[in-house]
């Protein structure tokens, strides 16, 4: 019997290990650069300062093309900002609405509003971007294989045309006006390099290198994808501790009950 | 209120006695879950029936709560699922429990099926019990498939496209059936609505078949690791407290593993592409079903002909229905079948290989590998099992369960 349990366990382990190996082998594209993220691991939390800087990048750069439709401005308070600070951040943003006569108007954004979309609708977004609407970023970190590492790698993975080898230009049919990205499947990406050194001036005085900007905005987008992550992990620790204690008790009682039958 | 085997229980509580005299639910519980004589030699594989039952109840409970917050409309389904995660109090917990619960329900049921096959639990007089189990498995597959469509992500949409299109392989009426299933000429809102309705309905059908499964189980009682029938009271123990405690412990251990995934890797078993809203104009480069369908998906793709593939895939489950008659050995348990035991484990490896093939694009060496693995799968059931039962010489069997237990203790 014990042998059987062991072989079962081995089969299960092989299954798990096998799937893991397959996941790695499945992509033909380059593997994203592995970064250390503050939110990794069973106790990892979001780096509030980085995520706040990341919001600044989103607001000043990404939001020109990409919506973040699942988030409301009030959600920014979860990044450690007070309501007055958030109101300060959004004071210049106007959102579309209808007035009492049913006429379309624009009014200042409130905390309860969803993030303003850069285009009035999907067609307008596509028309302004060579026929393909830029993806919404609300769950982008969960929606890409490689997650945060992939987003970071993509943002830092552009290679200028004059640095490409003739073989690369030929193989991926890159023109002078195309953008080559090492980490994008197929390498030819519609999005021009969005970030560069000193693209923004950080409100908290941090030096805005390309690397810093990319990891900050990734931290922000990781939070946007799963704002409840810290709650999930905290709950998990309690649940596991409770179940371990319960299992110990159950095992003791089970031994006691079975004592006369063995 | 205690009673020994056979004699009807006497209830001291007047209310319980009054009810039981008119509607004997307490006698039933007493007989089937307390004094019920159960082989004393179960190993931990016998926990998985109870574990699967707990998962079924958990899926229904979390599912009903999700349904109160979900919107089955092609334009709103994706965002309504995200809203459950973001705005419903503890909504993320309910959804993580439900979506990973499906995987863990299948893990429990796959182990349960393996146990039934390894210890020959499907053999006379338990053939109908086994067949009801296969019916439950089929219903689970239908329910899980339709549930995966509901979030209306890319894999939801394209998985539904691939699976419903299978019916177009049926000669003559295939295309009409697909149109009827879709409720239109493409997958759209009517498809999502009927999948939602059926996803809510089928779990209760499963509950009904589980009830029949349990009734059938309690006619002849459980099989056990030796496959020998109990010969008297020395071979059995009352179900309670012996197996209520042992099952309870097993359930808690299983829940620990489940919780580790739910709380620390909730998206590990899912596909990243399902966080992209469904887009009928963009086909994902690689459409993969959920992991628990991968072996059957591999069999589907292993056959070069579409209709042939569909027949092979359904055939892979159909052979399970006739398993009790394919196995000609008079010995139940693999413990005493020195050759078949290894073929049984080889079948498990074969199914894992099929799953691996199903995960990968059908190219390169995965094509011949999936074909060989598919052939072996059917070889095992249709050729090996009937022949091996005739030629294999079983090991000597202990005279009774009690003897087996005592010998193991001494040895």
The DSSP result for B341-383, as a single string, is HHHHHHHHHHHHHHHHHHHS-S-TTHHHHHHHHHHHHHHIIII
DSSP lists the bridge partners of residue A107 as: A95
Residues 6+ apart with CB under 8 A from A176: A161
Query: Does A192 reach chain B within 8 Å, measured CB to CB?
Result: no
- CATH 1.10.287 range(s) for chain B read 293-401
pLDDT attached to residue A29? 58
Query: Does B2 reach chain A within 8 Å, measured CB to CB?
Result: no
Residues 6+ apart with CB under 8 A from A19: B291, B355, B356, B359
Handedness of CA A135, A140, A145, A148 (dihedral sign): positive
Question: What mean pLDDT do residues B125-148 have?
Answer: 98
Question: What mean pLDDT do residues B105-127 have?
Answer: 97
- Distance, in Å, from the CA atom of B261 to the CA atom of B102, rounded to the nearest integer, reads 12
Residues 6+ apart with CB under 8 A from B276: A135, A143, B153, B154
Residue A205, min C-alpha distance to chain B (Å): 32
DSSP-based three-state secondary structure for A107? strand
Element (H, E) at A188: strand A188-189
Residue A164, min C-alpha distance to chain B (Å): 26
* Nearest CB partner across the interface for A233, out of B263, B267, B286: B263
Contacts of A148 in chain B (CB under 8 A): none
β-pair type (A158-159, A188-189): unpaired
Angle between helices B48-67 and B91-118 (to 10 degrees): 150
DSSP state of A72: B
pLDDT tens readout for residues B240-290? 999 999 999 999 999 999 999 999 999 999 999 999 999 999 999 889 999
| Contact: B92, A135; criterion CB under 8 Å | no
Q: Are A64 and A112 in contact (CB under 8 A)?
A: no
- Distance, in Å, from the CA atom of A155 to the CA atom of A87, rounded to the nearest integer, reads 29
- From its phi and psi, is residue B42 left (phi > 0), alpha (psi between -120 and 50) or beta? beta
Residues B31, B112, B213, B246: which is the catalytic one? B246
Per DSSP, which regions of A52-181 are E strands? 94-98, 104-108, 158-159, 179-181
Residue with tokens 């830092």: A156
Element (H, E) at A108: strand A104-108
B123 labelled catalytic: no
pLDDT attached to residue B280? 94
Tokens of B159: 């998985």
Q: Which residue of B has its CA nearest to A145?
A: B272
pLDDT attached to residue A11? 46
Residues 6+ apart with CB under 8 A from A40: none
C-alpha Rg value of chain B to the nearest Å: 24
Closest Cα to residue A58, out of A210, A200, A190? Answer: A200
B246 labelled catalytic: yes
Question: What mean pLDDT do residues B145-164 have?
Answer: 96
pLDDT attached to residue A17? 44
Contacts of A247 in chain B (CB under 8 A): 249, 252-253, 256
B290 labelled catalytic: yes
- Distance, in Å, from the CA atom of B91 to the CA atom of B97, rounded to the nearest integer, reads 10
β-pair type (A104-108, A188-189): unpaired
- Distance, in Å, from the CA atom of B227 to the CA atom of B247, rounded to the nearest integer, reads 20
Interface probe, candidates B44, B50, B93, B285, chain A, greatest A C-beta count within 10 A: B93
A211 alpha carbon, distance to own chain's centre: 16
CATH class, B43-287 region:
mainly alpha
pLDDT tens readout for residues B363-373? 999 999 999 99
B247 labelled catalytic: yes
Query: Does B285 reach chain A within 8 Å, measured CB to CB?
Result: yes
pLDDT tens readout for residues A220-260? 999 999 999 999 999 999 999 999 999 999 999 999 999 98
Give yes or no for a cis peptide into B52 (omega within 30° of 0).
Answer: no
Closest Cα to residue B395, out of B344, B330, B336? Answer: B336
Residues B218, B240, B306, B341: which is the catalytic one? B218
Question: What mean pLDDT do residues B110-120 have?
Answer: 98
pLDDT attached to residue B406? 81
Query: Does A44 reach chain B within 8 Å, measured CB to CB?
Result: no
* Nearest CB partner across the interface for B92, out of A228, A243, A244: A228
Residues 6+ apart with CB under 8 A from B370: B298, B299, B301, B302, B354, B357, B358, B362
Question: What mean pLDDT do residues B119-129 have?
Answer: 97
- CATH 1.20.810.10 range(s) for chain B read 43-287
| Contact: B355, A258; criterion CB under 8 Å | no
Tokens of B249: 């412990």
Whether ipTM exceeds 0.90: yes
B368 alpha carbon, distance to own chain's centre: 28
- Show which of residues 2-21 on chain A sit within 8 Å of chain B, judged by CB atoms: 4-5, 7-8, 11, 14-15, 18-19
B165 labelled catalytic: no
Query: Does A252 reach chain B within 8 Å, measured CB to CB?
Result: no
The DSSP line for B8-74 is PP---SHHHHHHHHHSTHHHHHIIIIIS-EEETT--GGGGHHHHHHHHHHHHHHHHHHHHTT----T
- Show which of residues 69-128 on chain B sit within 8 Å of chain A, judged by CB atoms: 79, 82-83, 85-86, 92-93, 96, 111, 114, 118
Residue with tokens 């380059």: A30
> Phi and psi dihedrals of A97, rounded to 5?
-160, 180
Residues of chain A with pLDDT under 70: 1-29, 262
- Distance, in Å, from the CA atom of B358 to the CA atom of B393, rounded to the nearest integer, reads 36
Q: Are B275 and A142 in contact (CB under 8 A)?
A: yes
Domain topology for B293-401: Helix Hairpins (1.10.287)
DSSP-based three-state secondary structure for A17? helix
Residues 6+ apart with CB under 8 A from B73: B189, B192
Element (H, E) at B84: helix B77-86
pLDDT exceeds 50 at position B3 = no
DSSP lists the bridge partners of residue A108 as: A94
Interface probe, candidates A117, A240, A249, chain B, greatest B C-beta count within 10 A: A240
| Contact: B360, A26; criterion CB under 8 Å | yes
Q: Are B122 and B327 in contact (CB under 8 A)?
A: yes
pLDDT tens readout for residues B209-233? 999 999 999 999 999 999 999 999 9
């Amino acid at each position: 019997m014990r042998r059987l349990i062991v072989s079962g366990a081995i089969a299960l382990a092989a299954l798990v290990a096998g799937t893991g190996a397959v996941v790695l082998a499945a992509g033909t594209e380059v593997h994203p650069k592995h970064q250390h993220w503050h939110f990794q691991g069973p106790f990892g939390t979001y780096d509030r300062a980085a995520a706040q800087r990341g919001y600044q990048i989103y607001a000043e750069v990404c939001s020109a093309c990409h919506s973040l439709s699942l988030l409301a401005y009030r959600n920014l308070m979860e990044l450690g900002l007070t309501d007055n600070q958030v109101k300060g951040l959004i004071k210049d943003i106007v959102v579309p609405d209808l007035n009492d006569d049913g006429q379309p108007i624009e009014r200042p954004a409130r905390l309860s509003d969803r993030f303003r979309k850069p285009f009035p609708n999907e067609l307008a977004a596509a028309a302004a971007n060579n026929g393909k609407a830029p993806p919404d970023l609300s769950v982008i970190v969960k929606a890409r294989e490689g997650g945060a590492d992939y987003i970071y790698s993509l943002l830092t993975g552009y290679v200028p045309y004059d640095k490409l080898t003739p073989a690369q230009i030929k193989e991926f049919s890159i023109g002078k006006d195309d953008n080559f990205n090492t980490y994008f499947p197929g390498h030819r990406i519609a999005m021009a390099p969005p970030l560069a050194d000193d693209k923004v001036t950080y409100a908290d005085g941090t030096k805005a290198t390309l690397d810093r900007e990319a990891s900050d905005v990734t931290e922000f987008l990781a939070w946007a994808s799963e704002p409840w992550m810290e709650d999930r992990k905290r709950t998990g620790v309690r649940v596991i501790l409770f179940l371990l204690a319960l299992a110990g008790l159950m095992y003791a009682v089970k031994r006691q009950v079975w004592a006369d039958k063995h | 209120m205690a009673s020994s085997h056979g004699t009807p229980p006497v209830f001291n509580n007047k209310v319980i006695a009054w009810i039981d005299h008119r509607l004997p639910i307490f006698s039933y519980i007493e007989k089937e879950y307390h004094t019920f004589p159960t082989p004393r030699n179960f190993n931990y594989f016998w926990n998985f029936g109870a574990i699967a039952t707990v998962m079924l109840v958990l899926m229904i409970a979390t599912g009903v709560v999700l349904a109160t917050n979900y919107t089955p409309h092609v334009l709103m389904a994706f965002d309504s699922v995200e809203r459950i995660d973001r705005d419903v109090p503890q909504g993320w917990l309910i959804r993580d429990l439900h979506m990973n619960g499906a995987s863990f329900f299948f893990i429990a049921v796959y182990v349960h099926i393996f146990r039934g096959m390894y210890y020959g639990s499907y053999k006379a007089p338990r053939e109908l019990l086994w067949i009801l189990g296969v019916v439950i498995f089929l219903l689970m597959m239908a329910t899980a498939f339709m549930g995966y469509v509901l979030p209306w992500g890319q894999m939801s949409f394209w998985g539904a496209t691939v699976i419903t299109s299978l019916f177009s392989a049926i000669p003559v009426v295939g295309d009409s059936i697909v149109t009827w299933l879709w409720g239109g000429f493409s997958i759209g809102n009517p498809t999502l609505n009927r999948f939602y309705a059926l996803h809510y309905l089928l779990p209760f059908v499963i509950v009904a078949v589980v009830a029949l499964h349990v009734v059938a189980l309690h006619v002849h009682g459980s099989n056990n690791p030796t496959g020998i029938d109990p010969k008297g009271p020395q071979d059995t123990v009352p179900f309670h407290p012996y197996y209520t405690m042992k099952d309870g412990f097993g359930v808690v251990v299983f829940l620990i593993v489940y919780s580790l995934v739910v709380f620390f890797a909730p998206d590990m078993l899912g596909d990243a592409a399902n966080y992209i809203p469904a887009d009928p104009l963009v086909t994902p480069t690689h459409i993969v079903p959920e992991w628990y369908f991968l072996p059957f998906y591999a069999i589907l793709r292993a056959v070069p002909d579409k209709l042939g593939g569909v027949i092979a895939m359904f055939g892979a489950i159909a052979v399970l229905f006739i398993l009790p008659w394919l196995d000609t050995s008079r010995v139940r348990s693999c413990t005493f079948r020195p050759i078949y035991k290894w073929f049984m484990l080889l079948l498990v490896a074969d199914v894992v290989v099929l799953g691996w093939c199903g995960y990968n694009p059908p190219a390169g060496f995965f094509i011949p590998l999936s074909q060989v693995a598919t052939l072996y799968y059917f070889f095992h059931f249709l050729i090996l099992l009937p022949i091996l039962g005739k030629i294999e010489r079983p090991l000597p069997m202990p005279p009774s369960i009690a003897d087996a237990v005592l010998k193991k203790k001494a040895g």
